[in-house]
Amino acid sequence: MKKILLLFIVLIFNNIQAQEVKTLTYFQNDTLKLDLDLYMPKKKAGEKIPLIMFAFGGGFSGGERTSEKDFGKFMAQNGYAVASISYSLYMKGKDFGCKGTLTEKIKAIQIGVSDMWQATAFLVENADKYNLDTSKIFISGISAGAEIGFHASFWDYKLMNLYKSNLPENFTYKGFIGGSGAIQDINLITKEKAIPMLLAHGSNDDTVPYAAGSHRSCPTNASGWLILFGSYSVYNQMRDLHKDIELITFCGGGHEFSGYLFHDGQQYVLDFVNDVLKGKKFESHLIQHSKKGKGSGKYSFCE
């Protein structure tokens, strides 16, 4: 009995040690203050820690960096640091749908991406202080956060960054984990710039397109019409380039699966980052049928 009690106390102590959270300000000026929560694992002295950057969802108008605490804690318990960032909610009080303005939508993404780059640069600059491995920085996000992740990975940093150039020359993320995200231009993903990816998406998502389609399913004559290339388009692009890609498709599912990888699918994320760091090659498409599905649609693999 004493041994069991002692083991229980040790497990609790180790669990607390693995869930240390530091709230840090990564950007501040006269009008804006942006913080991040850094979930830190317990590591041996001198051992550099891989890092996962994370951006929450919310249509660039809402959401909180604290929304995925369980994900941060889970990854910290398994040896990874997680930085969950706040970013500018440019669309707050504005229409991010079909009646919105295309240029405003793009600007919202650009601001969010610039904030992500700024947060990444802050942690690169302070890597020694927090014992982070700057060669092993992953990026991740849900919905709008996944759109930030896609564009932060593939946009031209010098051209699109709204702040000072503060990331190291030729910096690239080690890999990308995206829940129901999309990219504006599929041709940005080239053989030279491709990074390993783990993606999850519902095949009937009418908010962020699963393949090529319009954001929020807007008609082409809408003022807010924006073409996006979702996870299935990215999967096919990566396959054509013979690059590492894993896609989880929820056949018939909608946007409700945007957070899957960071909730029920956390083990997929852990396996993915472990495989990337071990140099493993992979290409897979896991098909799951949604109980809330509205039909298989045009995808034969959903039949």
Instruction: Please tell me the predicted confidence (pLDDT) of residue 13.
Output: 45
Given a cut of 50, is residue 76 above it in pLDDT?
Answer: yes
Considering its fold, how many domains does the chain have in total? 1
Phi first, then psi, for residue 2 (nearest 5°) are: -65, -40
From 241, 243, 236, select the one nearest 285 (Cα to Cα): 236
Q: Which domain does 258 fall in, by range? A: 21-302
Q: Report yes or no on 265 lying in a domain.
A: yes
Q: Is residue 274 part of a domain?
A: yes
Q: Is residue 6 part of a domain?
A: no
Between helix 266-277 and helix 69-77 the angle, nearest 10°, is: 40
pLDDT at 292: 64
Q: What is the pLDDT of residues 207-244, one digit of tens each?
A: 999 999 999 999 999 999 999 999 999 999 999 999 99
What pLDDT, in 10s, does the model give residues 187-208? 999 999 999 999 999 999 999 9
Angle at 280 between CA 275 and CA 281, to 5 degrees: 120
For residue 166, give the CATH number of its domain. Answer: 3.40.50.1820
Establish if 11 belongs to a structural domain: no
Distance of CA 301 to the CA centre of its chain: 26
- 113 inside domain: yes
